[in-house]
Amino acid sequence: MTTSRIAPVDVIIIAAMEPEIIPFLNQATELGEPRQVGNAVLYSGLLAGRRALFVRGGIGLVNAAGAANSALLLAGGEVPPLVISAGTAGGLGADVRVGDVVIGTEMINADADARAFGYVLGQVPGMPASYPSPGPAIQAGLDGVPTERTAATVHHGVVVSSYSFVGHDRAPIIKGQFAGVLATDMESSAIAQTCHVHGAPFLAVRGISDLCGPASEADFIEHVDDAAERSAEVAIPVIAAWWAAQAG
């Protein structure tokens, strides 16, 4: 394990699993040797001309938070990098289909429940009720979507995260609890919370692998690679749009 600080980067891309980070590594240049910090595996490189840190963080909220914290401590500079939560998600929105991409405008922890102490459902005590992406990041998610993709393919809205893989039993419960939710994953809200405490901008860009239905597990296995590719296909030009706006 190595914890030595590395050069500041422009963007940190965090995905839980190997198939989710590979599409980004395949597009990278000057890719360095992997280094492991805790459960996270990190690669430095260039992506679309920007200095990038690619992180395979592991599945679940704690793994995601640890990976994001390590990456920001190791590679964050005076200007915090844009952090992207990439990979796959289950679709919950009425118009969301397998193969679509959801860009999260607001992230919520679906497992947090301290309502007994006056907090709202989804709010970790002492933290915000949700984690909205900053306006410039959302605008980059609007401006940077590849022109060859139709507007109906990429959705913008609420993403919730849970420690449980959401299937058909829990999907209607989550949709009833969180208005307007479009997708669910197991990492984004934890990465967003970590970015919040570090003051780093955050955006989730997730390809839809299943629709949280009766066959969600089989659908996920069948579509994970394609959904991960679509996440990268949208995220990379969004990153370019973000930095073009910063330069302007």
Catalytic residues: 20, 210
Return the SS3 of 117.
helix
In contact, 61 and 163? CB cutoff 8 Å: yes
Return the ∠ at Cα 204 (arms to 203 and 210), rounded to 5°. 170
In angstroms, the CA 138 to CA 157 distance is: 10
- How many residues does the structure list for the chain? 248
User: Quick one: which of 237, 165, 226 has its CA closest to 203?
Assistant: 237
Q: Could you count the other beta carbons within 10 Å of the beta carbon of residue 215?
A: 12
In angstroms, the CA 51 to CA 139 distance is: 21
Return the SS3 of 238.
helix
Q: Could you count the other beta carbons within 10 Å of the beta carbon of residue 218?
A: 10
In angstroms, the CA 183 to CA 220 distance is: 14
Instruction: State the DSSP string of 10-22.
Output: SEEEEESSHHHHH
